[in-house]
């Protein structure tokens, strides 16, 4: 018995609905497949980027270790074969200098590793940033004397209270001062300034050294990045990476500024000011 027009219409609609569902499912499957392919591509690019970063890191680290080790080994050979007292003394100074450099390099790398893994513990207390700066200046004074550089400070006349880890904050200031010394020629001037404004404490380290190119300012705090700086002192490009990570752990920021090559640089640390009433 022939189908009615209604039955034929329902049949056509049924087949149309089936094809539509299959088409939607196919489009969804294609979209999911495309997304999986994009995800796989992103993961592959990320893995390649990480591999490249690790390779570059190891190559740079090897380069940074090779120079001081070569200098120390050469000094040891001088000590072994040259009996002159002045040559012996000079070789001893070179060995001590290079060993200290390597120790500082390893220490900075250890700090970066602990911070990256989230295993660094801060012992927080209420601190006057001016006291921390004064103690750091006293600690690094021999470095500036050795390089025949002048260092001065302007700390204001009121306490600059912050909450943080005294050892880590002095490490931040020390690294900034060492960086300034490394890129300031003998006879140059390094200044450290502390002031409070808008609920923040600002610590600045200014020098009249070699300066930083404008296109390098954004990368200056990256690991092993020197911002195309060339100085007479040793700097592995790790200290500023440690500075940024430690400052961020304290809820602060650090920035670099320079008017260009040969026009000095300025590094500014901004920390939250602890404005609670202080009672002994």
The predicted pLDDT at position 1 comes to 47
Which H or E run includes 65?
A: helix 5-81
Phi, psi torsion values for 240, nearest 5 degrees: -70, -30
At 67-109, the pLDDT tens digits run 788 888 888 888 888 878 888 888 888 888 788 778 877 777 7
pLDDT at position 22: 73
pTM over 0.75: no
What's residue 218's pLDDT? 80
In the predicted structure, residue 172 carries a pLDDT above the cut 90: yes
| β-bridge partners, 254 | 269
Q: Which residues contact 91 (CB under 8 A, 6 or more apart)?
A: 75, 76, 78, 79, 82
Q: Report the distance separating Cα 75 and Cα 80, nearest Å.
A: 9
278 versus 119: the higher-pLDDT residue is 119
Closest CA to 197 of 272, 144, 128: 272
* Backbone angles phi and psi of 223, in degrees to 5: -60, 130
**How do residues 183-242 score in pLDDT, each as one tens digit?**
999 999 999 999 998 899 999 999 999 998 888 888 888 876 655 544 444 455 678 888
Q: How far is CA 93 from the centre of its chain?
A: 30
pLDDT at residue 185, rounded to an integer: 93
pLDDT for residue 256 is more than 80: yes
Question: What is the rounded average pLDDT for all residues in the chain?
Answer: 82
Does residue 89 contact residue 218 with C-beta atoms inside 8 Å?
no
Domains and CATH numbers, the chain: 1-120 (1.10.287.130), 125-272 (3.30.565.10)
CB 136 within 8 A of CB 174: yes
Alpha carbon distance 80, 33 (integer Å): 69
Distance separating alpha carbons of residues 270 and 10, to the nearest angstrom: 74
d(CA 178, CA 223): 16
**Could you tell me the pLDDT band of residue 280, with boundaries at 50, 70 and 90?**
very low
The pLDDT score that the predictor gives to residue 225 is 62
CA-closest candidate to residue 160, choices 261, 271, 83: 271
Q: Over 90: is that where the pLDDT of 160 sits? A: yes
């Amino acid at each position: 018995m022939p189908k009615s027009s209604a039955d034929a219409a329902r049949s056509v609609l049924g087949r149309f609905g089936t094809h539509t569902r299959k088409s939607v499912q196919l489009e969804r499957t294609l979209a999911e497949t495309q997304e999986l392919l994009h995800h796989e591509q992103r993961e592959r690019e990320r893995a390649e980027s990480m591999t490249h970063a690790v390779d570059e890191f190891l190559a740079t680290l090897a380069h940074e270790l090779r120079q001081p080790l070569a200098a120390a080994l050469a000094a040891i050979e001088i000590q072994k074969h040259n009996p002159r007292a002045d040559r012996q003394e000079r070789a001893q100074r070179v060995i001590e200098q290079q060993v200290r450099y390597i120790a500082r390099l390893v220490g900075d790398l250890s700090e970066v590793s602990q911070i990256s893994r989230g295993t660094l513990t801060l012992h927080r207390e209420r601190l006057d940033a001016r006291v921390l700066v004064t103690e750091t200046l006293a600690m690094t004074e021999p470095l500036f004397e050795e390089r025949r550089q002048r260092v001065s400070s302007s700390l204001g006349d009121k306490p600059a209270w912050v909450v943080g880890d005294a050892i880590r904050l002095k490490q931040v200031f020390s690294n900034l001062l060492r960086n300034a010394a490394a890129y300031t020629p003998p006879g140059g001037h390094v200044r450290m300034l502390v002031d409070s404004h808008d609920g923040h404490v600002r610590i600045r380290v200014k020098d009249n050294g070699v300066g930083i190119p404008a296109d390098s300012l954004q990368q200056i705090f990256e690991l092993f990045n020197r911002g195309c700086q060339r100085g007479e002192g040793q700097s592995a490009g790790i200290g500023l990476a440690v500075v940024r990570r430690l400052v961020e752990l304290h809820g602060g920021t650090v920035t670099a500024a320079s008017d260009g090559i040969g026009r000095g640089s300025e590094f500014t640390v901004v920390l939250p000011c602890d404005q609670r009433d202080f009672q002994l």
